[in-house]
Structure 1
Amino acid sequence: MSDEPGGAAEAVDTVLAALADPTRRQLLEVLAAKGEATATTLAEHLPVSRQAVVKHLAVLDAAGLVSGGRIGREVRYTVRPAALDATARWMASLAADWDRRLAHIKRVAEAAERDAQARPDKP
């Protein structure tokens, strides 16, 4: 993340912090499956109160993972995949970097092993 602009790094940090809580991950899964739902509807699928769901939704909203739109007296929430997509891209980039590093270590180790086998042993 060091080569990313500060805003992108902060966005990834915020998403990862929001997803660190298992209740929020479950809430996001339920909301993704339903497409759109109110806090009351979401609370029916979780072992927490409606007030707790509202607080969790506020964290997810601040991370850019959900958005709420008022329709009459209800606030209906939907998943916003852009922040999750950006975080997934960062994670894929990180994984690719590690794959390159590990491949380099493997090449160096294999070259050292070949060199050791090619040299005659000295008494």
Structure 2
Amino acid sequence: MEVANKELKRNDIETYKCPIPTVFLQHVDFPAGLHYAYLRFKDSSERLRVIRCNTRQVGHPRPELGAGWHLYVHDYDLRVGDRLVLLAEEDPIIGSQYRIVARRRIIRLFGAEVWGDLPRVHY
């Protein structure tokens, strides 16, 4: 089930963090007293990635992907305008897990955009 997506901006690509939609927070269990959690994502090549999700300690939570994000950007050669999709999946054995997918606009056809999943470039 898709829980969040966003079009990547220059800052998302060039910095070591990526703000994500607040709606994603309802799918994250933060350890008691902490404003961050290390989340396990499977990417499109089925590699398990650990990416830190941070929130602000005061005011609006504003979640962002932190440590581990920049390596994902590098491995998938992400660019401005690509789309980041975060999915939550229920596994009956291990519980909830996440999937991270990068998509790039391939073509605009009859007014509709066609997007394709990006393969991993760097191993």
Q: TM-score category by the smaller chain? A: under 0.3
Q: Which has the higher strand share?
A: 2
> TM-score, normalization: structure 2?
0.27
Q: Which structure ranks higher in relative contact order (CA pairs < 8 Å, sequence separation ≥ 6)?
A: 2
> TM-score, normalization: structure 1?
0.27
Q: Which has the higher helix share?
A: 1
